[in-house]
Amino acid sequence: MIETPKKSSARPALLVALAAAFAVIAVLVVALVANVAEHKREAKVPTVRVVELTEETDDPALWGKNFPQEYDQYKKTAEMTPTRFGGSEAVPRVPTSDDPREKVSRSKIDADPRLKTMWAGYAFAADFRERRGHMYVLEDQLYTKRQQVVKQPGTCAQCHASTWVAYRKLGDGDLIKGFEKMNQMPYSEAKNLLKHPVACIDCHEPKTMALRVTKPGFLEGIKALKASQGVPNYDPNTMATRQEMRAFVCGQCHVEYYFKGPEKRLVYPWAKGLKIDDIMSYYDEIKFKDWTHKETGAQVLKAQHPEFETWNQGIHARSGVTCVDCHMPYMRVGGTKMADHHVRSPLLNVNRACQQCHKWSDAELKDRVETIQLRFKKLRDQAMDSLVALIGDLKAAKEAGKSDAELATARYLQRRAQFYLDFVEAENSAGFHAPDEQVRVLGESINYSRQGQIALRDPSFKPTVAVVDIPATPPAPAPGAPAVVPASAPAPAAH
């Protein structure tokens, strides 16, 4: 028999349940109102502006009059603080007449001389330092020794200065025309048009403060990528979501790139996809090389800072977490919430950068990151040793008089091993942005180096990848191709 509950005890239970339900609804309503208010506050742009900002205002100090808090944080990117594997450490130097800097960041090639072997014959073997904050983008490019070893083109400027106003002036109002003109100037001339490091106007539309992409390299690169995925005429400024823009504004510069053709156009090699395998096959198809390795004669490539591509392969990108969530997390100043414009290592700011999503202690989160980075560094060291061993073997075989045909397979494997290793070496998170992918890439690199060594010992050895012939001199431009840069212009570009 089922006992019917007594009414007298059921009624209070019902009342309690109802009261609880109302309480929950009340809390939800309050939360909703608060949320709406917050969104309004976030969307609010001061109606009274101290300064009228236009498409010609590139000086961040003027923007700072309207947005003093963002400007104060932005200026802090001049601070230098090291973390275990990242951040930046100030090294004092005595200023000279051709380089007035009083402090620079640590030299990577002095810290690991194997890098000089890897890049023998290339400008990077002369000077390559750790990155530091956005306040330095312009001066570090002006004074790097890479400027003295090779005459660099104006193309370099896109990622190291505020270029929006300069490009448009140069192109009579046309961004792309100005970009093309500056690419073809020697850097020594282009630098006279540059006044500020990356500035507000490079990421913001001055009237509405909306995020925007202003760098032609990214506009063209993302268009090519989307076209390969079946989306024609992609324009991030009209088609991207807000969350996507929070990665795209950084992807304007934190990417792999090369200079295409005699006109030195800045191109992001994304027409086949963002993975290293796609990028490698893109370069092989166009038979591109950055330089000829001095010790082995291999036609090799230099990778640089593929943060955007790498982040794309990781769990955070997959979960919709962007660069800005970690590197410019929200902060509260008075009653308002703002994006922290002190862009830096999130490990200097775990509290706001990670704990908004992960409820682990500061120490535990740091430890998780460093565990990933330590494992990465260990394998990276092995990949570096393997590549140096292959370079040594190739050099010896060359000196012993082996023919180009006999060296071809090992040279191509050096090209691959080098690019795969460099792609994660030049990436600035020390393995964090996509841990398993970055370790996979190192595994591939080691495999290519060791296969190259086998190929030198056993002429019948068939490597796991098809050998691509990369000519020492690039194919002549097709008839009717754009005019070559003036004869006085820099010869081969080194980045």
Site for ligand HEC in 93-152 (CB under 6 A): 128-129, 131-134, 136-137, 140-141, 144, 146, 152
446 binds ligand HEC (CB under 6 A): no
- Of 432, 442, 456, 470, the one binding ligand HEC by CB under 6 A: 432
Q: What are phi and psi of 414, to 5 degrees?
A: -65, -45
Least distance in angstroms from the C-beta of 24 to ligand HEC = 26
Instruction: Sketch the per residue contact string, 4 through 43, with ligand HEC: x for CB under 6 A, - otherwise.
Output: ----------------------------------------
Contact 279, 309 (CB under 8 A): yes
Least distance in angstroms from the C-beta of 480 to ligand HEC = 27
- Comparing CA positions, the residue from 199, 69, 65, 227 lying closest to residue 134 is 199
- Of 58, 118, 119, 160, the one binding ligand HEC by CB under 6 A: 160
DSSP state of 481: P
Helix orientation angle between 362-399 and 404-425, rounded to the nearest 10 degrees: 170
Least distance in angstroms from the C-beta of 26 to ligand HEC = 28
Contact 424, 380 (CB under 8 A): yes
Distance CA 439, CA 274 (A): 17
92 exposed, middle or buried (CB, 10 Å; 0-12, 13-18, 19+)?
exposed
485 binds ligand HEC (CB under 6 A): no
255-284 binders of ligand HEC (CB under 6 A): 255, 257, 266
CB closer to ligand HEC, 284 vs 290: 290
- Of 365, 384, 442, 485, the one binding ligand HEC by CB under 6 A: 365
211 binds ligand HEC (CB under 6 A): yes
| Cα separations in angstroms, 189 against 23, 152, 264, 472 | 69, 10, 15, 29
9-22 burial code (b ≥16 CB/10 A, e <16): eeeeeeeeeeeeee
Site size toward ligand HEC, by CB under 6 A:
89
* Helix or strand holding residue 259 (H, E): strand 258-260
Distance CA 114, CA 107 (A): 13
Contact 411, 403 (CB under 8 A): no
Instruction: Sketch the per residue contact string, 366 through 395, with ligand HEC: x for CB under 6 A, - otherwise.
Output: --xx--------------------------
Least distance in angstroms from the C-beta of 374 to ligand HEC = 11
- Of 247, 267, 407, 413, the one binding ligand HEC by CB under 6 A: 247
CA-based end-to-end distance of the chain? 86
Least distance in angstroms from the C-beta of 367 to ligand HEC = 10
111 exposed, middle or buried (CB, 10 Å; 0-12, 13-18, 19+)?
exposed
45-74 binders of ligand HEC (CB under 6 A): 60, 63-64, 67, 70-71, 74
296-355 binders of ligand HEC (CB under 6 A): 305, 307-308, 311, 315-316, 319, 321-328, 338-339, 341, 343-347, 353-354
Structure token pair of residue 78: 């001049």
Extract the runs of DSSP E, i.e. beta strands, from 2-136: 91-92, 103-104
Least distance in angstroms from the C-beta of 439 to ligand HEC = 11
Contact 222, 236 (CB under 8 A): yes
Least distance in angstroms from the C-beta of 400 to ligand HEC = 36
Instruction: Sketch the per residue contact string, 185 through 204, with ligand HEC: x for CB under 6 A, - otherwise.
Output: -------------xxx-xxx
Least distance in angstroms from the C-beta of 59 to ligand HEC = 10
CB closer to ligand HEC, 354 vs 410: 354
